[in-house]
Every structure is written in C-alpha cells, then in structure tokens.
C-alpha cells in the first residue's frame, strides 16, 4: 500500500511539474514574442531575459535577412543590417573599433544611439542562438558596445551600478571573446578602457 501511494504521489508531482518546466522553456524560447527569435533552440535564461527586455523597443524587417536568416532588427534609426560586422572584410574587433567610436569629449557621445546599436546586436545574437548558429563572433562587437556604453555613462556622471556592466569587467569580456584578434587591436581595447572622461 505504501508503495502504491508513493507511486501515485510521484506520478502526480511529475505531471504537475512537467507543464511548468515546459512552459518556462516555451516562454524563454519565445523571448516574450520577440520578432527576432526565429528558431527552436532553447535560449539561456540570460539571453531570453535580454530578448524579452529589448523586444518592445525594436521591430524586425523580415524582408531583409542578416546572419543565419535572422530578420533585420531595427531600433529607432538604427538597423542591424547597416552596422553588420559580418558584411565587413574586417575582423569583428577591427570593425567594432572603427565603427563604434565615441566622441571627444567622451561625455558628449550620443548614449541613446550606442544603446540602440547594442540592442540590435543583442537581439540578433538571440536570433542566431535560436537557430543554433555560431554566436561567438557577434559577441565581440556586442561586448565592445557594452563597454563603450559603460564608458559614456561613467563620463556623463552616471556609472552603471551593476557589477557586470563595469568598464573593466566589459573590457575583460571583449578580450576573452577575441582570442583570434591581433595584439594591436586588443591593446586598443585595453587603452580605451582607461579613458573615462
């Protein structure tokens, strides 16, 4: 009798837990209805959360395909297709250093534009991950943009409070994800991270 009660309890708890786990995965995969999450590969929670956060601010142009068939992600005047590192003959880091420069003085840089650029990169990365594509290359310009945003915010007197958005942490993320980039380019990133005003 004890065995059959335990089996019934286990079966009932499994039946209840299964839909909850499945629903969580479906919600994570859907990216809260994000137009750029086009595949069926389950997204890591951090990526899914970022996709859900960005989704209300962006739109997708399904007529224009970018990396791995992800639709062109647009936020305001910024379209991923116009700043797509993969269309360049440069390495991802060389592209980022050339195309995502800050103003002088640093505090006068258009923060909103950099945030839109970071959003379309983050969204496109989520789309690439959703189709099981190679997302390693896009992480380089994405983290570089995040570092630039942190530098701008710091120069404007509003440094990020989250430890993961600290300039030094983001510099290290750029460097860690750029194992094939030249030392000269890596040194430029290290130098930029020291300029905070």
pLDDT, tens only, 151-165: 999 999 999 999 899
Task: Look at residue 108 in the predicted model and tell me its pLDDT.
Answer: 98
| pLDDT reading at 128 higher than 70 | yes
pTM: 0.85
Q: Is the peptide bond before 94 cis (omega within 30 degrees of 0)?
A: no
Identify the CA nearest to 137 among candidates 87, 183, 73, 187.
87
Average the pLDDT over 170-176 and give the result.
98
Higher-confidence residue: 30 or 110? 110
Return the SS3 of 188. helix
Task: Look at residue 32 in the predicted model and tell me its pLDDT.
Answer: 52
* Phi, psi torsion values for 79, nearest 5 degrees: -115, 135
Task: Look at residue 15 in the predicted model and tell me its pLDDT.
Answer: 47
Per-domain boundaries in the chain = 31-192
Residue that has been written with the tokens 């915010």 in this structure: 153
CA distance 14 to 44: 23
| pLDDT reading at 92 higher than 50 | yes
CA distance 66 to 73: 9
Task: Look at residue 43 in the predicted model and tell me its pLDDT.
Answer: 95
pLDDT, tens only, 22-75: 444 444 444 457 999 999 999 999 999 999 999 999 999 999 999 999 999 999
Average the pLDDT over 166-183 and give the result.
98
Identify the CA nearest to 31 among candidates 72, 39, 66.
39
pLDDT, tens only, 98-108: 999 999 999 99
| pLDDT reading at 13 higher than 50 | no
Identify the CA nearest to 174 among candidates 134, 154, 145.
145
Identify the CA nearest to 81 among candidates 93, 69, 97.
69
Q: How many CB atoms sit inside 10 A of residue 71's CB?
A: 21
């Amino acid at each position: 009798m004890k065995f059959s009660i335990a089996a019934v309890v286990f079966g009932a708890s499994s039946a209840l837990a299964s839909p909850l786990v499945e629903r969580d995965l479906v919600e994570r995969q859907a990216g809260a209805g994000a137009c750029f999450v086009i595949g069926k590969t389950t997204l890591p929670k951090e990526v899914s959360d970022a996709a859900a956060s960005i989704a209300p601010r962006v739109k997708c142009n399904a007529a224009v395909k970018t990396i791995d068939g992800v639709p062109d992600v647009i936020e305001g005047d910024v379209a991923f297709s116009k700043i797509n590192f993969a269309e360049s003959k440069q390495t991802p880091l060389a592209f980022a250093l050339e195309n995502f420069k800050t103003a002088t003085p640093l505090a006068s840089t258009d923060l909103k534009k950099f945030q839109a650029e970071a959003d379309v990169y983050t969204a496109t990365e989520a789309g690439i991950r959703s189709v099981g594509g190679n997302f390693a290359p896009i992480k380089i310009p994405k983290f570089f943009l995040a570092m630039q945003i942190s530098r701008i915010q710091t120069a404007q007197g509003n440094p990020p409070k989250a430890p993961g958005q600290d300039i030094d942490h983001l510099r290290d993320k750029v460097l860690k994800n750029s194992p094939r980039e030249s030392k000269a380019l890596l040194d430029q990133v290290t130098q930029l991270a020291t300029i905070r005003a």
